[in-house]
Amino acid sequence: MSTYLGLDFGGTKLAAGIADGHGRLLAIERCPTDAAAGPDGAISAMRRLVQSFPRSLPEPVAVGISFGGPVDLACRRTLLSHHGPGWEDFPLVERVAEVWRRPVAMDNDANAAALGEFRFGAGRGYRNVLYVTVSTGIGAGVILDGKLYRGSRGLSGEVGHTIVLPDGPLCPCGKRGCVEAIASGPSIARAYAERAGLPPAAITAESVFRRAEQGDEMARDVLRWAIGLLGIGLANAINLLDPDVVVVGGGVSRAGDALFSPLREAVRANSAPSPPGAVPIVPAVLGDAVGVLGAVALVCDQSRDSAPG
Amino acid sequence: MSTYLGLDFGGTKLAAGIADGHGRLLAIERCPTDAAAGPDGAISAMRRLVQSFPRSLPEPVAVGISFGGPVDLACRRTLLSHHGPGWEDFPLVERVAEVWRRPVAMDNDANAAALGEFRFGAGRGYRNVLYVTVSTGIGAGVILDGKLYRGSRGLSGEVGHTIVLPDGPLCPCGKRGCVEAIASGPSIARAYAERAGLPPAAITAESVFRRAEQGDEMARDVLRWAIGLLGIGLANAINLLDPDVVVVGGGVSRAGDALFSPLREAVRANSAPSPPGAVPIVPAVLGDAVGVLGAVALVCDQSRDSAPG
């Protein structure tokens, strides 16, 4: 049995795992990201995680990387991390190949997660899959005709920065009414805190969902507004891409039916008129392991496309 | 030299033309659509157009069809025409093959036009092309990795029914704030007529552009509003698809710089933050022949993918 090492370089945590080509996870270890330690510190931390795996595991034949930030078009170098210095134009693939002496594949976290859910998770068996993560930010990865579609400049899938309310809240990107400025976890929390006159730090998206469940009308209003507009963003993406399925992951998706029921209704109401059979909107299933398993899917796909170097 | 017959079944006119595999048009003839005559009448009219071609032209080796309405996923049957009865589930490919006894390829007009501009027009030499037609309606066709991307149900490219203003004007599709309800030719005309208190029939989009050029501030406002929101719709599509280029055709695109200058500015202002080099927004170049040449491009591509049957 061939196994693969998956490395998930996230902004708040690092994770390393070993899985087989069917996405069965044999080991996974995590530690917090030390942003100040930069790329070299992150690679050292990954080595320690891998050294802590049971010795009985088969040696991985290749290494995949999910990186929490933009990567270059050839997927060899990181362009930037929003969480710490030292990642501008860093040759992460080359450096990881030096450490593990195996073929390496990399992509940004949204693309890796999309491929992970497509190969091993909720997108299995479909051909065209839109994966959306609703978390600190909102990102997406697009699988078309069974392959990751990266766009002309590696910038496809920016659902989070599509605009659904031109006079809406200001997004850190400088525009108004981006889906991310409305329906990301922090945006939901901020909208509630503002209405309730609470300090933003007192509120999380999770607590807004909890308050809504307990009957708090203000929390319900905020969620109706945010989820309704997220639904417009997804409907717009569906109208363009006509996928088989939309898979929704990320921290906010843990709200379960409290998210998915109104989201499906909003997508249905805002989709183009179409033949019977709405596009299913389903929860991601890989949970916290999506980065590691996405990384494994990346390197499995690369091994399939070309003999390992 | 192989030549191809292109048939453009539009809602208001029919066109037939002969072109070679490089999109060089050797003949083209048009007549008005007689909606009441249905599919059989349209096929008869096409036969008359073809019979009027010069006898010296080489016999076409295959026939392409651009159809002004939805077609089934296999591109064999028309599902519906918005312009007349009799087109529900009509086997147009089979019927055209019976008449001309050649291989036949078909797609809807937006997809055919996208492929036409990609093969023979403003999209030549690119790999990922978004073609948008701004006309009586707003439609789009998507070329990804050098191929027409039709989506899972043949419904990709519905830019016109993406929502950019949730409380905006009512669209015939039943939703509010669709790009089509704001920036199509009739929508621009209606917005001006409403503000000016004129009967809608007195105004066309063309006349709104003309009034704006002559200094009419109300016309300028309407165009700023409509083009600004069209720009958000295109920016949203760019953020998802990351194409090499956006090609804009259709009647409203004949306004030239009066459309393209503010449109480029709106797209730039509403695109996701990205590396230097905005996606070019360029005018279509095939003009009135886009349906015929798109039909020819469809059948050329089909001939390339499989031996003619």
Ranges in chain B annotated CATH 3.30.420.40: 3-114+288-305, 125-285
Rounded to whole angstroms, how far apart are CA atoms B191 and B200?
A: 9
Q: Tell me if the domain spanning B3-114+288-305 has CATH number 3.40.50.11540.
A: no
List CB contacts (< 8 A) between A229 and chain B: 166
Q: Chain B within 8 Å of A7 (Cβ-Cβ)?
A: no
User: Quick one: which of B101, B113, B171 has its CA closest to B143?
Assistant: B113
For the stretch B148-184, pLDDT in tens is: 999 999 999 999 999 999 999 999 889 999 999 999 9
Beta-strand pair A138-144/B25-32: unpaired
- For residue A274, the model assigns a pLDDT of 65
Q: pTM, whole model, 2 decimals?
A: 0.95
Ranges in chain A annotated CATH 3.30.420.40: 3-114+288-305, 126-285
Provide the CATH number for the domain formed by A126-285 in this structure. Answer: 3.30.420.40
The ipTM (two decimal places) reads: 0.94
How many angstroms away from the CA of A147 is the closest CA of chain B?
11
Which 231-260 residues of chain A touch chain B by CB within 8 A? 232, 235-237, 239-244
Q: Chain B within 8 Å of A288 (Cβ-Cβ)?
A: no
Q: B198, B189 in Cβ contact below 8 A?
A: no
Task: Select from B88, B126, B158, B176 the residue whose CB has the most chain A CBs within 10 Å, as the one to mutate to test that interface.
Answer: B158
Least confident of A110-124, A144-158, B34-48, B71-85: B71-85
- For residue B16, the model assigns a pLDDT of 98
How many angstroms away from the CA of B145 is the closest CA of chain A?
9
Q: Chain A within 8 Å of B162 (Cβ-Cβ)?
A: yes
Inter-chain touch B235–A163, beta carbons under 8 Å: yes
Rounded to whole angstroms, how far apart are CA atoms A226 and A263?
A: 10
Rounded to whole angstroms, how far apart are CA atoms A177 and A226?
A: 11
What is the chain B residue with the closest CA to A176?
A: B270
For the stretch B236-272, pLDDT in tens is: 999 999 999 999 999 999 999 999 999 999 999 998 7
Q: Tell me if the domain spanning B125-285 has CATH number 2.40.10.230.
A: no
- For residue B277, the model assigns a pLDDT of 65
* Residue-wise DSSP of A199-215: -GGG--HHHHHHHHHTT
Q: Which of B144, B229, B240 sits opposite A162 (nearest CB)?
A: B240
Q: Which amino acid is at A90?
A: F
Which 191-210 residues of chain A touch chain B by CB within 8 A? none
Per residue of chain A (309 residues), give pLDDT as tens. Answer: 899 999 999 989 999 999 999 999 999 999 999 989 999 999 999 999 999 999 999 999 999 999 999 999 999 999 988 778 899 999 999 999 999 999 999 999 999 999 999 999 999 999 999 999 999 999 999 999 999 999 999 999 999 999 999 999 999 889 999 999 999 999 999 999 999 999 988 999 999 999 999 999 999 999 999 999 999 999 999 999 999 999 999 999 999 999 999 999 999 999 877 655 689 999 999 999 999 999 999 999 988 776 443
Least confident of B61-70, B80-89, B153-162: B80-89
For residue B245, the cross-strand partners are: B129
Rounded to whole angstroms, how far apart are CA atoms A44 and A34?
A: 11
Rounded to whole angstroms, how far apart are CA atoms B234 and B10?
A: 25
User: By three-state DSSP, how is residue A153 classified?
Assistant: coil
User: Quick one: which of A187, A305, A192, A193 has its CA closest to A252?
Assistant: A187
What is the chain A residue with the closest CA to B236?
A: A162
Inter-chain touch B239–A145, beta carbons under 8 Å: no
Q: Where does the pLDDT of residue B200 fall: very low under 50, low under 70, confident under 90, or very high at 90 and above?
A: confident
- For residue A276, the model assigns a pLDDT of 52
User: Quick one: which of A234, A233, A227 has its CA closest to A256?
Assistant: A227
Inter-chain touch B242–A153, beta carbons under 8 Å: yes
- For residue B276, the model assigns a pLDDT of 52
Q: How many CB atoms lie within 10 A of CB B88?
A: 12
How many angstroms away from the CA of B107 is the closest CA of chain A?
16
- Cβ pairs bridging A and B (under 8 Å): 123
Q: Chain A within 8 Å of B151 (Cβ-Cβ)?
A: yes
What is the chain A residue with the closest CA to B275?
A: A153
Q: Which residue has the higher pLDDT, B82 or B119?
A: B119
Q: B152, B270 in Cβ contact below 8 A?
A: no
Inter-chain touch B229–A166, beta carbons under 8 Å: yes
